Every structure is written in C-alpha cells, then in structure tokens.
Amino acid sequence: MKIIKILIIDDDEDDFYILKEYISTIKEQQFIVDWCGKYDEAIKKVCAREYDLYFVDYLLGAKTGLDLIKEAAEKKCEEPIILLTGNGNRGIDIQGMQFGAVDYLVKSELNTEKIERCIRYSLERAITSRALKSNERKFRNIFERSKDTVFIAGDNLVFTEVNEASFFLLGYEIDELVAKSLYSFIAHKNDAEYIKEQLLENGIVADKEIDVLTKRGEIKNCIITVSRETDIAGNPYFQGIIHEITALKKAEKTNLALGKMEMASRLVRTVAHEVRNPLNNIMISLEELKLSSVNKADDTFFNIIHRNGNRINALITELLNSARPVEIALQKKSLQLILEESIEAAHDRISLHNIQLARDFEQEQAWIMADYEKLKIAFLNIIINAIEAMQKDKGELMISVKHKDEANYIVMIKDNGSGISKENLICLFEPYFTTKQNGMGLGLASTLNILQS
C-alpha cells in the first residue's frame, strides 16, 4: 500500500498537532504528515511536488491561504490543496474553490470521518483532474500542430479559435481570422448555402469539396468537415477541419493531361505509319512515272504531286516529333535571359500588332537548371498565343519573374486578350486542339511536353 505524504501549512503549530492526530486515527492507510508554518517555504514545497496532498490554513501571517492556492495554480502545481477555515467563512471557502482548492474543511467541525472522506475524495478528484489535463494537452497539441486548418466556431460559423495552419491556408493572422465567418472565405455561394442547409438539417457536413479564397485572392481547393457540438453548459458550437488538396488536384490534372498525350501519341504513331506507307508507294510510283513519261506537259503535274507528297511527309514528321518525349540537356541559365530571348524572337509579331509590352523581372538573376533552347521555345509558344489572342493596337502583354520561395520562381505571362471559355479550358494543352482557323493545335501541347520534361 502506498504511503500518502501530507503537508499541513499552518502558522499555528497547535492546530497542526490536532489535525495530525485526527489523520493518524484513519485506518487501513499509512500517512507521513509534516508541518510548515511559513508562506515562502510552503510555496516552494508545493511547487517542488514533494507531497501528495496539502492542508492550507486561511491565516498565514501577512498572507493568506487563498494567496498560496492562487500562486500554486499560476505555477501549474497540480497536487490537491484543501483549505482550512473558521466558522462563518463560507465566502472564503467558495473563493478558495474558485482559485483551485479541491475542497475545504471548517476547523471547528473536524473529525476523523470527515478528514478521511475529504482526503479520499480529493486524491480521487486529483487523479481525474490530471487525466483530463493530460488529455487536454494532447488534444491541444494536435490542434496547434496539425498541418490542416482546425477551427472552433460559433453562430454562422464565426471563428472563435483557429490553429496556426489557418495562416498558411488563408494568409490571415490568427487574430485577423477570429470574429470572421468561414462563409466569407468560401468562393462559391452555392457551396456556402449547401453547408448551411446540411448543418441546420443534420448537424454535420462531411468531406465536402470546396474552393476557398485567400487574402491574396488565390483560389485553393479544399475538403471540409464541420459538425455541430454542445458544450457542458448546453451551448451549441461548431468544430471543423479544412484539408487543402490544391496540389493533389494539380497532380490529377497533370496525370490526366499526360494520359491524354500518351493516347494521342499512340494514335499519331499509328496514323503516321498507316499514312506514310501508302505515301511512300505513291512517291516511288511517281519517280517511275517521271522516268517513263515522254510528255513534258506531265512534269507540271508530277511536280505538284511531288511537292504535296513532301509536304505530307513533313507534316507526319512534325506530328511524330510533337508526340515524342523531349530529351532535355540541363544547364545553369538565367531565367530572365531565356525570357528576353523568347521576347526577341517574337519582336516582329509584337511590333506588327502594336502591342504594349511590360516587363517585371527580379533585379537579381534567377539562375535555374534548364534546357535553354527548348525552354525558350516553350515561352515563345505561350507569347505567340497571347499575341494572337489580342486585338491589334489594343494589346497589353505583361511578363514577370518573381520569387515564390528560396528554391522556386514564378513566371507570369499575362495578356488582355479574348481569353478562353470554360468548356475549352480542359482541352487547352491537348494535342491538335485549336480554336484558330489555320492552327494545328500543337504549340501548347509541345510547350507542356517541354515543361513537363
């Protein structure tokens, strides 16, 4: 059986001996009971956690037992403290409980049974309290260290508490978010209405995919789960978690595009094979006809067939090259220099369309590992597409290079052209997709192939 160590903190030694005598008569339990009559010494012993239980008298010279209980709580001392008071001090008793005392006893009403029950209940309550505090710390750590945004909210999903991850998701400091409603960050009104309806009807929204709007105006793809809960006072509140899936969505789109390109590549190789074989037969037959022909007038038609045959052959080669994985030779190059070379290659088109060109480059050179020629072609394809999308004499083209973080840069090529319809966006980098009258739909497909390589 464990021996329970008790410290009695009382400036009256006679009261200590009386209480110690009562404790010694408790059966089936062994105790070590010590005395401390000075406040400063007592608070040191309490904070040192040398004892299992403390009895503290209200009167401790210049200070009181309430001062000691309050200071012990502030210093995170978790061992149970029982307050000893005189008759008619119910206000002090209640105040002691509010400061952190687990129980109180009136000195004039002491007896063995009351003290035994008070000790037993206080120790049991202390064990329960420590377990609760331990769990609270665990969940607090999960709340604060989670990479997902975790929040507590009141009516209308107004944030009352958020974790640090919310800053990385939304771009707002924690104190900026508190008192703002989650609904104000949901990009699409119909999603906000759906969440309101589900919480009203069912009290929970599970794994709902939404887009959230950040402080910088970015759209991020997320999955949200929110549930309505009730605290111990019966007041409703909401708790939820927001998991960002923007990177996952981008990866899915990239994999889909790669899959489409692979399918298109297989189709191109098949078609090229099926077309080139009869074309070769045509060209061989043409050469034989030219040798056997005696009519000089036929040469005109022979030349037409020969030129167009070569044109078809060149188109097949171009199609095959666009579908073939790009071989990359990486070198350390300046990103600004590559862009300048691409702009120079498009200079005539920019001049002919009278387009206003603006650059916003980092002053410090952005050194990257890249295939200089191929990346120049990729940028040139994008710039040409931008030029062709703008009206003559009204075009504005902005090209910028900015730091994203220590290891990455963002290149932005922005125009004020006609844009792309939503239904065509998903087809944007597909081979042979084009909205141009004379386009082949290979420019952006080739660009994507280069960038992914």
Query: Dihedrals φ, ψ of 11, to 5°?
Result: -80, -5
Q: Which burial class, exposed, middle or buried, applies to 313 when counting CB atoms under 10 A from its CB (0-12, 13-18, 19+)?
A: middle
* Measured distance CA(268)–CA(273) in Å, rounded: 8
Mean pLDDT of 298-305: 84
Check whether residue 11 and residue 49 sit in a common domain: yes
Greatest mean pLDDT range, 1-10, 121-130, 192-201, 274-283:
192-201
pLDDT on residue 155: 92
Q: What is the mean pLDDT of the chain?
A: 86
Using the predicted structure, report yes or no on whether residue 290 has a pLDDT greater than 70. yes
* Measured distance CA(357)–CA(417) in Å, rounded: 13
Check whether residue 151 and residue 138 sit in a common domain: no
- pLDDT tens track for 75-118: 888 899 999 887 656 778 788 888 888 888 888 888 999 999 99
Is residue 35 within 8 A of residue 10, CB to CB? The reply is: yes
Find the domain containing 315 and state its range: 250-323
Q: What is the CATH number of the domain that holds 116?
A: 3.40.50.2300
Greatest mean pLDDT range, 11-20, 131-140, 243-252:
11-20
pTM greater than 0.85: no
- pLDDT tens track for 382-430: 999 889 889 889 999 999 998 887 778 899 999 998 888 777 776 676 6
Using the predicted structure, report yes or no on whether residue 317 has a pLDDT greater than 90. no
pLDDT on residue 297: 76
* Measured distance CA(296)–CA(31) in Å, rounded: 128
Query: Which helix (DSSP H) or strand (DSSP E) does residue 350 occupy?
Result: helix 347-352
Check whether residue 276 and residue 376 sit in a common domain: no
pLDDT on residue 185: 95
Using the predicted structure, report yes or no on whether residue 433 has a pLDDT greater than 70. no
* Measured distance CA(445)–CA(434) in Å, rounded: 10
From 244, 261, 295, give the residue that closes a domain: 244
From 244, 263, 284, give the residue that closes a domain: 244
Is residue 68 within 8 A of residue 100, CB to CB? The reply is: no
Token pair 């045509």 is at which residue? Answer: 282
The β-bridge relationship of strands 53-57 and 4-9 is parallel
* Measured distance CA(71)–CA(258) in Å, rounded: 66
pLDDT on residue 268: 73
Check whether residue 101 and residue 55 sit in a common domain: yes
Per the structure, the count of domains in the chain is 4
pLDDT on residue 430: 65
pLDDT on residue 414: 93
* Measured distance CA(286)–CA(221) in Å, rounded: 59
Mean pLDDT of 17-44: 91
Q: What is the CATH number of the domain that holds 305?
A: 1.10.287.130
* Measured distance CA(94)–CA(368) in Å, rounded: 70
Query: Which helix (DSSP H) or strand (DSSP E) does residue 149 occupy?
Result: strand 149-153
Using the predicted structure, report yes or no on whether residue 435 has a pLDDT greater than 70. no
Check whether residue 8 and residue 23 sit in a common domain: yes
Lowest mean per-residue pLDDT among 209-218, 273-282, 321-330, 362-371 = 321-330
| Residue length of the chain | 453
Mean pLDDT of 332-336: 91
Percent of the chain with pLDDT over 90: 38
Confidence bin at 440 (pLDDT 50/70/90) = low
| Cα Rg of the chain, angstroms | 40
* Measured distance CA(249)–CA(424) in Å, rounded: 18
Check whether residue 213 and residue 261 sit in a common domain: no
pLDDT on residue 226: 94
Mean pLDDT of 111-127: 89
Evaluated on CA atoms 122, 123, 124, 127, the torsion sign reads positive
Percent of the chain with pLDDT over 70: 92
Kindly report the number of other CB atoms within 10 A of residue 282's CB atom: 14
pLDDT on residue 227: 94
From 244, 279, 303, give the residue that closes a domain: 244
Lowest mean per-residue pLDDT among 10-24, 66-80, 375-389, 417-431 = 417-431
Mean pLDDT of 121-138: 81
Check whether residue 299 and residue 315 sit in a common domain: yes
Q: Which burial class, exposed, middle or buried, applies to 334 when counting CB atoms under 10 A from its CB (0-12, 13-18, 19+)?
A: middle
Check whether residue 177 and residue 113 sit in a common domain: no
Check whether residue 158 and residue 117 sit in a common domain: no
Is residue 367 within 8 A of residue 330, CB to CB? The reply is: no
Check whether residue 124 and residue 170 sit in a common domain: no
Q: What is the CATH number of the domain that holds 240?
A: 3.30.450.20
Is residue 119 within 8 A of residue 93, CB to CB? The reply is: no
pLDDT on residue 194: 94
- pLDDT tens track for 246-271: 888 888 777 776 777 677 777 777 87
Check whether residue 303 and residue 413 sit in a common domain: no
Mean pLDDT of 266-283: 82
Q: What is the CATH number of the domain that holds 345?
A: 3.30.565.10
b/e 369-386 (16+ beta carbons within 10 angstroms → b)? ebbbebbbbbbbbbbbbb
Check whether residue 369 and residue 410 sit in a common domain: yes
Query: Which helix (DSSP H) or strand (DSSP E) does residue 207 occupy?
Result: strand 204-213
Which distant-in-sequence residues (6+ apart) come within 8 Å of 266 by Cβ? none
Token digits of residue 103: 């129980």
